Amino acid sequence: MPFVLLALCVVAATAQKPIDPQLTAPPPLKIIPKNERDQLDLEKEAKDRLRLLIQFATTHLQSAENYTAQSAFESASAEVGTYHALIENALTTLAALKRDSNKTRDLYKRLELTLRAHGPRLTAMRRITPLEFAVWIKQVEDYARDGRTEALNSFYGHTVVRDKNETEKGNEKPEPTPKNPQP
C-alpha cells in the first residue's frame, strides 16, 4: 500500500511539471573584424602577429566581461565569438611553424601563459551568464583549455624516452636467481 501511494505521488508530480528543454541562444559568430584582420595581415613576423592576436583577444575578452557585468549577454556573446576566432587563428598560425624551433616554443609559451590567465576570467563570466548563453562560453573555455594543452605539448615533441621494444628485451640477459632460497 505505501509503495502504491508513493508511485501515485511521483506520477502526479511529473504530470504537473511538463519537461521543456531549455532553448539556447544561437552560437556566437567566430569572425575577426575587418580592421583587425587587416592589421594582422600586415604583420610578417610570427612573433609580432601573435603579440597582436593576444592583444586583440584580451581586448575582446575585457569587452565581453564588461557586457556581462551590464547584463548585455548578446553583445557579450558576440565578443566571446570574436575572442574564439582570434585564439583559433593564433593556434593555426603556430601550428604552421616549424615545431622543433626554440622561437616556436617561445611563442607557444607566450600563448599558454595568456590562455592560463584567461581561463578564470572565462569561468567567472560563464557563472554569472544565463544558461542559454553560458553553454557557448563553456565551449570557448574548453577550446582555450585545449589550446593550452596543445601549447604545453609543443615542449615535449621528440624528447620523450621510449620503452624498449621487444627485440631489445630479447637480447638482454635474465637476472640470475639465487641457488639457495632465502627464508
**pLDDT band, very low/low/confident/very high, at 161 (cuts 50, 70, 90):** low
pTM of the full predicted structure? 0.72
Over residues 39-83, the pLDDT tens digits come to 999 998 999 999 999 999 999 999 999 999 999 999 999 999 999
**pLDDT band, very low/low/confident/very high, at 127 (cuts 50, 70, 90):** very high
What does each C-alpha distance from 149 to 95, 142, 144, 155, 173 come to in angstroms? 13, 11, 9, 10, 41
Give residue 45's pLDDT.
92
- Residues near 148 by beta carbon (within 8 Å), at least 6 away in sequence: 112, 115, 116, 119
Residue 175 in domain: no
Phi, psi of 26 (to 5 degrees): -65, 150
Residue 84 in domain: yes
Over residues 137-154, the pLDDT tens digits come to 999 999 999 988 888 887
Give residue 26's pLDDT.
82
Residue 167 in domain: no
Domain count along the chain: 1
Residue 170 in domain: no
Give residue 18's pLDDT.
46
Residue 45 in domain: yes
Query: 624551433: which residue's cell?
Result: 101
Smallest CA-to-CA distance from 53 within 34, 32, 67 is with 32
Residue 124 in domain: yes
CA–CA–CA angle 79, 143, 49 (5° rounding): 65
Residue 102 in domain: yes
The residue segments making up the domain with residue 47 are 25-157
CA distance 61 to 81: 10
Residue 124 cell numbers, joined: 567567472
Phi, psi of 115 (to 5 degrees): -65, -30
Three-state secondary structure call for residue 183:
coil
Three-state secondary structure call for residue 129:
coil
Residue 36 in domain: yes
**Mean pLDDT over each residue of the chain, to the nearest integer:** 81
